Amino acid sequence: MKSVEDIVKIRDRRRKYNHLRFRENEPLRPLQDTEILICSSTGCSSCGTDKIIEAIKSECEKKGISNKVRITKIGCFGLCAMGPIITFKPTDIFYTKVKVEDAERIVNEHIINGKILEDKIYVNEDGTKAETISKFNFYKKQKFVARKDLRLISPDEIEDYISLDGYMGLIKSLSMTPEQIIEEVENSKLRGRGGAGFPTGKKWRTAYYEKSSEKYVICNGDEGDPGAFMDRTILESNPHSILEGMAIAGRAIGASRGIIYVRAEYKLAGEKLARAIESARKYGLLGENILGSDFDFDIDISLGAGAFVCGEETALIRSVEGKRGEPETKPPYPAVSGLWGKPTVINNVETLTNIPAIILNGANWYRQFGTENSSGTKIFALSGKIRNTGLIEAPIGTTLSEIIFDIGGGVPNGKKFKAVQIGGPSGGCVPIEHLDKKVDYESLKELGTMMGSGGMIVVDEDTCMVDFAKFFLDFTCDESCGKCVPCRIGNKRMKEILTKICEGKGTMADLDTLEELAHHIKNTSLCGLGQSAPNPVLSTLRYFRKEYEEHIKNKKCPAGVCKNLISYEISSKCIGCGLCKRGCPVSAIKGEVRKIHEIDPALCIKCGLCESKCPVRAINKIR
């Protein structure tokens, strides 16, 4: 058991001891020793960070400099496309795409000889080299609140977190009344980051007013949108911020138990959380009489089996209770009757990670970021046809073009931007003409999409929007729990119609049916999954209706994706090399050596292999 004073002492001591680490806005002190910070989040570690660490360690041993070099696994840098990432302290040099084979050069050339490995340096989209973070265009327009500690601390070291004012929010909340805490959160205008954007303070107040001897705080870590992984990295990189946020929530509503619902596939996140909970208990930051106060709060982990629908709060509660993960009708809302029928606050991971900073720095500080109605920052997961795939954090209200082009680096390979799908399968797409729009809850809704979890999938000219809508509908059909009629059967029927259109068998009447069904499902489904499932269809119909009509009326797929609507042809440029013939998996290509080859359309499965094999670009896709 530690006291408030103990924790403050730890912070101050660690700050000094932490002299190797770089802190924002603090001048670095030149040192002779080197610290290597290496990202240990899933993206980088799946590319072998552990092996890289081993290799560097053994190389250091060989050279006898082990005592001069410290290697620390830290959290996510966000630039996942460039992983594994390592940085050096105190020089701040930033290496990307590091491999095990680079270990020897890193030790010999970089550490011992002080020479920068030019090939490991990131190049901005404008061609300039970024040796240190400050030179990255990627980081320039970002603002870190939720992710501020991620690339500075080790998720396994509670004192690392404490050294950066960790748990100071909780300490402050212990001297506040629940009313004051809730007021602070309300004033911060923080809105739920899980999707719907419900005001967090209002949720807490509802649960606070409920009279019950038992209340619960649940952290929703059932992140399931394709292409979204911000919660995962927070859980992996900074688990203590979640624990602190939950404890503050517990203090505010009068709960003494918290549950973190995290999907079992997030193995690393689960491990980091378990370790964090254990050390928080050891430091008296969780458990009975936290830091000697009268406040008890402890946290358990509940592993989810991976159903997307369990991200819906009522389905999540059922899943925690050990039942089939199916949503229930609201009202009653969980804040009134949730887990085991008790008042329960369910907040998303990203929401909770904002809480400690809001309490510590105050609502006004938090409101300086973002817009009037949506304050703070939001983490977005950039993926698809975008240069800087990864996680970014920007103030709410940043424009789409800033996010996609200035931070994301735009569309690679000289292709043209076509649209961005925001909010995963529940969101909608936004075409190029709306790139000047601000990203906030209201504007996105007007555009026919939603903030959702903050996933952004960028597509270029080679994407068929009908096929794209079908992809997301495929996902929601798979992930629908099957409880209510509109979602269970309606989405299936929509998917069937889209398949028909993609196969060139659609009729114009199908478009009417599609729209009728989409609106019906949106209006009458039981939960958020069903209510938002038709969004990809509705938004593509809104912005790319012509593409649908092209499929139906002219039996053409302008993007050249729908296989039934394209064909391949060999032009007179053919030199008869036979490469295409040998590569064809269904032997659809005939021709003699040095003579022009031919494709049998009846056999061709339009896989496109021949096109990629042809050395003289004689094979063309006919759209």
The binding site for other proteins (CB under 8 A) comprises 307, 309, 324, 328-329, 331, 477-486, 488-493, 496, 513, 516-517, 520, 523-526
| Cβ–Cβ < 8 Å for 455, 227 | yes
Pick the closer one to other proteins by CB: 367 or 492: 492
Pick the closer one to other proteins by CB: 82 or 466: 466
DSSP 517-549: HHHHHHHH-SSHHHHHTTHHHHHHHHH-HHHHH
Q: Quote the least distance from Cβ 315 to other proteins, whole Å.
A: 11
Pick the closer one to other proteins by CB: 175 or 329: 329
Q: Quote the least distance from Cβ 487 to other proteins, whole Å.
A: 8
Pick the closer one to other proteins by CB: 158 or 529: 529
Q: Quote the least distance from Cβ 309 to other proteins, whole Å.
A: 8
* Beta strand extents in 436-584 (DSSP E only): 455-460, 567-570
- The type of residue at 137 is N
Residue 326 and residue 245: Cα distance in Å, rounded? 27
Degrees to nearest 5, angle at CA 208 with 329 and 203: 50
Q: Are strands 216-221 and 344-348 parallel, antiparallel or unpaired?
A: parallel
Q: Quote the least distance from Cβ 504 to other proteins, whole Å.
A: 18
Pick the closer one to other proteins by CB: 500 or 613: 500
Helix (H) or strand (E) holding 598: strand 598-599
Structure tokens at 109: 């050339």
Q: Quote the least distance from Cβ 338 to other proteins, whole Å.
A: 16
Q: Quote the least distance from Cβ 375 to other proteins, whole Å.
A: 24
Residue 33 and residue 20: Cα distance in Å, rounded? 8
Q: Quote the least distance from Cβ 489 to other proteins, whole Å.
A: 4
Q: Quote the least distance from Cβ 221 to other proteins, whole Å.
A: 21
Residue 488 and residue 479: Cα distance in Å, rounded? 10
Residue with tokens 């918290």: 258
Q: Which residues of 55-81 are buried (b: 16+ CB within 10 A; e: fewer)?
A: bbbebbeeeeeeeebebbbbbbbbbbb
Pick the closer one to other proteins by CB: 327 or 408: 327
| Cβ–Cβ < 8 Å for 298, 257 | yes
The residues facing 590 across adjacent strands are 598
Strand order in the sheet with 257-263: 298-304, 257-263, 216-221, 344-348
